[in-house]
Chains A and B, each alone.
Chain A
Amino acid sequence: MKWELVCGLEVHVEMNTRTKIFCGCTTEFGGAPNTHVCPVCTGQPGALPVLNRQVVENAMMTGLALGCDITRLTRFDRKNYFYPDLPKAYQISQLYAPICTKGGIEVETEEGEKKFIRLHEIHMEEDAGKLVHDPWTESTLCDYNRCGVPLMEIVTEPDFRSAHEVIGFLTQLRSTLQFLGVSDCKMQEGSIRADLNISVRPAGSEKLGTRTEMKNMNSFKAIARAIDTEARRQIEVLESGKKVVQETRRWDDNKDASFAMRSKENAQDYRYFPEPDLPPVYIDERWLEKVKESLPELADAKRVRYREQYKLTEHDIGILCQSARLCRLLEELVALGTEPKEAANWILGEVLRLCKEAGVDAADLQLDAGKLAHIIALLGEGKLTRAAAKQTLEAVFAENVDVDAFIREKGLLVERDAGAVAAAVEQVLRDNPDAVEKFRAGNEKVYGFLTGQCMKLLRGKADPKDVNAALREALAK
């Protein structure tokens, strides 16, 4: 019997707005427990939510970028349930009128064919807090810093038929969200989480099988493993004549297996009703137009532009367009006058190398584009050697030094003193007659030694090109 996998996703994305969805607390990750809180996000008696406009605009941008219909009169609803990480004992979410419907993302199937994955909806909601289990006191502690962080829930139709498609979808979704600037999408920090709805059915059947929900995958690889493992598990169950139990399962990446959490048969009744503390949000033509106009350029459009306008290679484009941060750096450098190819070389070469060595993700790169542009310009004017330029960049990356001050302090400015160069060359040839002999006899290797000696005499403060030219000239005599 041939089986077919049917899978849908519920992706939760934490928005990186400065403040929370219903109050002015910071959304910054980390921070001592219960320090990014206020009466509103801790559900104090008498506190009320007030909607953060930027959250709505971020959701609108996401919907527009993914081809969704934007719901013009969108409302919030209360989802009621009791849990210690939910201070009000209800989550303000959207059920009846989510801000976006339809839309989707095109992916490639395993066979390389194009396929459109449809979205069911996108809605806004608030995140809950974090429960920390303390084994020493056998108690559970509540940290409400995360309460009220704005979330977008992106729900797909059950259109996926393979883990490959799911990973392709998530990769593109992440890229879109990063290029829009609405989320940094770091799975390891929890700013993007995916729950899977998985079922199997005989290939060719139209009827959907019983599905299970899978949670707790912390990486794209874990998601792929979870899908394949669960599909296999369900097939085994069905082939042995039993029925698949509708339940929520928790993926354990260390054990490469999943375990049942709670039975969805006794699904909770959330008693959804419209949130009376928040008036409906009316999105008029003007607001929609303004958001449309402010949509940033996405990866695909950049690929085309980098190819046609900047004339970069496919290889360079491929790497650059994986990171919104690197694209931003490239465009900032070009805007400051750096030649695109040169800018790309520096980013893909030195900058990425420094990131890797420091263990810094490109997305978290802290680098002043102005300073890098200045270094590249000085190099172009011959005022810095390439080695000195790299050294300066390292210092800017590590300590954000002032470029001119650093160059002055370390004496890195190239001295174009033709006389000094000529004198150095003369001296080196005088002091090393054997090497000169060897060179004249045809030994090219000793040339390196001679240039090295010249640079040593000049204390490195000469343009290697000048030394090279002078030396060649002297040796030719």
Chain B
Amino acid sequence: MNYTQSTALELARAIREGKVTSPELVQAAKARIEAVDGDIHAMTALDWDAAMRRAEEIQARIDKGEDVGPLAGVPMAIKDNICMRGLPAACGSKMLLDFDPPYDATAVGKLLDAGAVIVGHTNMDEFAMGSTTETSFHGATHNPWDLGKTPGGSSGGSAAAVAACELPCALGSDTGGSIRQPASFCGVTGFKPTYGAVSRYGLIAYASSLDQIGPLARDAADCAAIYDVIHGKDVHDATTVDSVCGALEALDGDVRRLRVGVPEEYFAEGLDEDVRARVLEAAETLKSLGAQVETFSLGMVKYAVPAYYILACAEASSNLSRFDGIKYGYRADEAEDIVSLMCKSRTEGFGKEVRRRILLGTFVLSSGYYDAYYVKALKVKALIKQAFDAAFEKYDVILSPAAPTTALGIGQSLSDPLKMYLGDIYTVSVNLAGLPAVTFPCGFDRDGMPVGAQLIGAAHADKTVLRAADAFQRATEFHKMTKGGAL
């Protein structure tokens, strides 16, 4: 069995059955990462000594017959913006290059309780602001399918690590599509849970009302297993809610009578031909499995991107104010007074895209513009949620592309930020409405680059969405493809 090509659930079973040990898996991951990550650059911080110690400790408990947890001994990684003691959480930024978190994120604590072995951080766009993982201070991550292309973003490192078989799975974060879009560009499966299902305590904030932690893995089953571990109401996060349990158990492969809505607004101009074709083929596949597929009109689509950028930048401008050079993080060398110390630290510590979004956010919150922009955007957010609520009275899931194109070339996007923002068209409305959504591979374009489809569910329909993706994957082989061939 080639362990770097297995899913997390397969590895967990293999360990339980004594076929392989956790230290062996960590060793295999280390070898693979050392072999390929020089070109891909998915990983940022790695601590093999700590990982090996942990793997040995977990293995010892398993050998004693202890039921350590559903992910016991499986190696994985977490995005650079998720806090774990002992690993520097830099958020892809000069501002936090050596930041050693004094606490573990709740989601991390749950993974550790389940026996996972977290080996390091994955690369990301700086402070999760971006769709290409090119704005990272650590340098860009490359798409394993074509090293000249981006893996998407902002969780590009997590997607690339799974796609390149460096690790079976990784945690990412999704504010406007940052799990789902890179998953689709890299041919892996990514899941963003319902807002409030997973605690944000320990996730370095970008936009508080939109951020969610979620898994990227080889298939929906792994995503379901990880969701089961990391979800739950948390006393440390007041925005968490009671969330559904038993996602893995609910994967019965049955999508008969599943009502799938396909919004015509999502298949209009601007959508790449091959992407359109692959996603519509995915609709046919679901139909052939017994689902009812129907097109319909989804309102408010054209307002999603502007509303998203106003709200996300506004919240980010406030969330990033704490990086002032006083308490932690980058502090500028020479400053005559407190104001210039803060200004210099922030100007020097933040990259261009981050500074752009902070300025945008500050502007829309400023006196005289607050009502016209921020309040208006909040109202649009509510209307977008209403549009989805209306749709979910008729449909169980909504199918769409994950992005208008496949992965773009490195260096192509950053010079035209607006165009880059418009690429988020299919993903941002999901965050605005707080809904669960999964993206999964459904084919390739003319250049052999992966195409991803997205399934969106009603609030708390996380299980429905994962079940549909899993059913699709039982009938297809796209999720088993890697650059090096089929797994």
Chain B nearest CB from A263 CB (Å) reads 16
A48 within 8 A of B: yes
Q: Counting chain A CB atoms within 10 Å of each CB, which of B89, B200, B205, B362 scores highest? A: B205
B362–A271 contact, CB under 8 A?
yes
Residue of B nearest to A279 (CB): B238
Chain A nearest CB from B367 CB (Å) reads 5
Chain B nearest CB from A141 CB (Å) reads 11
A45–B204 contact, CB under 8 A?
yes
B235–A82 contact, CB under 8 A?
no
Query: Which residues does chain B contribute within 8 Å of A88, judged by CB atoms?
Result: 321-322
Query: Which residues does chain A contribute within 8 Å of B208, judged by CB atoms?
Result: 276-277
A168 within 8 A of B: no
A337 within 8 A of B: no
Decide if the interface of chain B is mainly helix, strand, loop or mixed. loop
Interface string of B214-236 (1 = CB under 8 A from A): 00000000000000000000011
- How many chain B residues sit at the interface, stated as a range, is 35 or more
A87 within 8 A of B: yes
**Given contacts A88-B321, A276-B209, is CB(A46)–CB(B83) below 8 Å?**
yes
B322–A89 contact, CB under 8 A?
yes
B103–A273 contact, CB under 8 A?
no
Residues 178-214 of B contacting A (Cβ, < 8 Å): 200-205, 207-209
- In the complex the two chains form, what is the Cα distance from A140 to B341 in whole Å? 13
A84 within 8 A of B: yes
B342 within 8 A of A: yes
B455 within 8 A of A: no
**Given contacts A46-B201, A50-B236, A51-B238, is CB(A87)–CB(B366) below 8 Å?**
no
Interface string of B335-354 (1 = CB under 8 A from A): 00011001000000000000
Chain A nearest CB from B456 CB (Å) reads 22
B28-36, B68-76, B323-331, B416-424 - the one binding chain A? B323-331
Query: Which residues does chain B contribute within 8 Å of A42, judged by CB atoms?
Result: 327
Query: Which residues does chain A contribute within 8 Å of B323, judged by CB atoms?
Result: 45
A50–B237 contact, CB under 8 A?
yes
A39 within 8 A of B: yes
- In the complex the two chains form, what is the Cα distance from A80 to B236 in whole Å? 23
A78 within 8 A of B: yes
Query: Which residues does chain A contribute within 8 Å of B322, judged by CB atoms?
Result: 43, 45, 87-89
Instruction: Return the contact of B318 from the options A44, A80, A87, A278 (Cβ within 8 A).
Output: A80
B321–A45 contact, CB under 8 A?
no
Q: How many A-B residue pairs have CB under 8 A?
A: 99
Interface string of A48-69 (1 = CB under 8 A from B): 1111000000000000000000
B94-102, B138-146, B242-250, B396-404 - the one binding chain A? B94-102
A47 within 8 A of B: yes
Residue of B nearest to A270 (CB): B367
A45–B89 contact, CB under 8 A?
yes
- In the complex the two chains form, what is the Cα distance from A416 to B91 in whole Å? 84
B472 within 8 A of A: no
B105–A269 contact, CB under 8 A?
no
**Given contacts A42-B327, A45-B96, A89-B321, is CB(A271)–CB(B365) below 8 Å?**
yes
- In the complex the two chains form, what is the Cα distance from A279 to B233 in whole Å? 14
- In the complex the two chains form, what is the Cα distance from A44 to B96 in whole Å? 12
Residues 245-293 of A contacting B (Cβ, < 8 Å): 269, 271-273, 276-279
B315 within 8 A of A: yes
B238–A273 contact, CB under 8 A?
no
B342–A82 contact, CB under 8 A?
yes
Query: Which residues does chain B contribute within 8 Å of A47, judged by CB atoms?
Result: 103, 201-202
Q: Counting chain B CB atoms within 10 Å of each CB, which of A87, A89, A278 scores highest? A: A89
Chain A nearest CB from B326 CB (Å) reads 5
A142 within 8 A of B: yes
Query: Which residues does chain B contribute within 8 Å of A439, judged by CB atoms?
Result: none
- In the complex the two chains form, what is the Cα distance from A43 to B328 in whole Å? 10
A78–B318 contact, CB under 8 A?
yes
A273–B314 contact, CB under 8 A?
yes
- In the complex the two chains form, what is the Cα distance from A278 to B321 in whole Å? 18
Query: Which residues does chain A contribute within 8 Å of B328, judged by CB atoms?
Result: 44-45
B102–A39 contact, CB under 8 A?
yes
B103–A44 contact, CB under 8 A?
yes
Q: Counting chain B CB atoms within 10 Å of each CB, which of A47, A84, A272 scores highest? A: A47
Please report B residues at the A interface, Cβ cutoff 8 Å. Answer: 81-83, 89, 91, 96, 99, 101-103, 105, 200-205, 207-209, 235-239, 314-315, 318, 321-324, 326-328, 338-339, 342, 362, 365-367, 370, 374
**Can you name 14 A-B pairs with beta carbons within 8 Å?**
A39-B103, A45-B99, A45-B322, A46-B82, A46-B89, A46-B105, A46-B201, A48-B238, A80-B318, A82-B324, A269-B367, A271-B365, A273-B374, A276-B239
Q: 8 shortest A-B CB distances, which residue pairs?
A: A89-B321, A276-B208, A271-B365, A276-B209, A45-B204, A46-B202, A46-B204, A269-B367
Q: A272-B370, A276-B239 are in contact. List 7 more A-B contacts (CB 8 A).
A: A46-B82, A49-B238, A80-B321, A84-B326, A140-B338, A271-B367, A273-B374
Please report A residues at the B interface, Cβ cutoff 8 Å. Answer: 39, 42-51, 78, 80, 82, 84, 87-90, 140, 142, 269, 271-273, 276-279
